[in-house]
Amino acid sequence: MSYALPSIPLPPLSRLEAVVHTFYDKIYAHPWIGRFFRHVDQEHQETKLVRFFQLSWDDQSFPEMQAQYLRQEHAHMYVTTELFDLRQQLFAEALREHGHDEREVEIFLEFNDLWRPSVVKESVDQCSSMFTAVVEHPRPDPG
């Protein structure tokens, strides 16, 4: 996997942590995507995402290893294109709330989108229950 390195530096740790915290506040509060995190410690998730950015952001050698990690980490989760798009939307909102301009938002979304093929599945049949039960949360009815 080859990709163009992001054209901006990763924000300082305190700013990155603030964005990630706001992002996960949105995730955990969301009626659909939040269901995937019902029994997962938010602080742990935040630490993992910050570390992921720090390892991946500007290191050309990491993408394939990170893609493998994400495939394994999400193997049991039925993440649809719609869910991934929702994640992108919530991340963009968090970035904007912390003062990032549209160019920075777009760069982060492009970076996040690199991992789409490693996470998104066409059907629940593509999930693996080798190590844990398959997690599937259909979209809740709006009414």
Domain of residue 104: give its range: 13-126
Tokens matching residue 67: 């893609």
Residue 42, domain member (yes or no): yes
Is the Cβ–Cβ distance between 42 and 24 less than 8 Å? yes
Residue 107, domain member (yes or no): yes
Q: What percent of the chain has pLDDT over 90?
A: 52
Rounded CA-CA distance 73/33 in Å is 16
Q: Helix (H) and strand (E) counts for the chain?
A: 6, 0
pLDDT grade, residue 19 (50/70/90)? very high
**Which residue has tokens 């706001």?**
22
Residue 131, domain member (yes or no): no
pLDDT tens by residue, 56-101: 898 777 666 676 767 677 667 788 999 999 999 999 999 999 999 9
Query: What's the pLDDT at 81?
Result: 92
Residue 116, domain member (yes or no): yes
* Domain tally, the chain: 1
Residue 114, domain member (yes or no): yes
pLDDT grade, residue 127 (50/70/90)? confident
Query: What's the pLDDT at 132?
Result: 67
pTM: 0.86
pLDDT tens by residue, 26-48: 999 999 999 989 899 999 999 99
Residue 48, domain member (yes or no): yes
Rounded CA-CA distance 68/65 in Å is 5
Is the Cβ–Cβ distance between 77 and 135 less than 8 Å? yes
CATH code where residue 102 lies: 1.10.490.10
